[in-house]
Chains A and B, each alone.
Chain A
Amino acid sequence: MIIVKDLSIERSNKKIFENVNLSVGSGKIILLKGKNGSGKTTLLKAILNLIEPSSGAIYWKGKLLRRNLYDFFSQVTFIADKTSSLSKLSVHENINIWKKFFLSNISNSQIENILKTLKLDIYLNQKVNSLSLGETKKLEFLRLIIENKKIWILDEPLSNLDDESIDLIGQTFEDHRSKEGSIIYSSHQESEINVSEEVLL
């Protein structure tokens, strides 16, 4: 559905990458790899139309992405490399805000289940800034479930997590794939997630 064609990006007159080609179909999991500074985050942001490419183009459902932006956005969840939960509020409050904000129709029991599998259920009333780093990261994944979109764009989702959590994320990815969803994510870590394609930047 997303097709990236000959994409090159410059920032401050410095080439970051050139001629990247990529296509994200439904049911596909794509892993971006590359050294630090190779442009993984930049590429993900370009796919979100946040960075103007210096040449090349990105298509969504056959049309130029730029022309069809909000249709694309309505099907995408993005998790950046920094967490976005509000650190002064509790886990519970954050979840509530997300639920309302994304007009989510996920039931409370579903959310409780996920919290339980992520082992976050005991922290419901704790402030986010007293969670451990990994727990904050796991909390962020809840947005994927709450937003309930088809395309997930994730920047370094696996860092700071223990092996058990990484397996859980892997399962979630499989689930999503089996529901014809697609995922594009970046990572430095080896993991057992079964990806459809690896792109080296």
Chain B
Amino acid sequence: MSVTVLYFASLRDAAGCDRESLPLPASIQVLYAELSARHGFVLPAAKLRVAVDGAFVPWDSPVNDGSEIAFIPPVSGG
């Protein structure tokens, strides 16, 4: 039972990789808290959006085995 987490921009730099496979977490919030502690993410969850399997979802959405979870830092296109 695992998920894939995708990192972009400053989160990728901080994590040192663009993705990792991790055990299925209790929730997306718990996952981000653990990752923040481990990788030293400075962006608080309140500033991020989250996407599961390529679509934006609320932070309190369930996660399933095999899901691809992306934490979306504030965007700066244009």
Chain B binds chain A: no
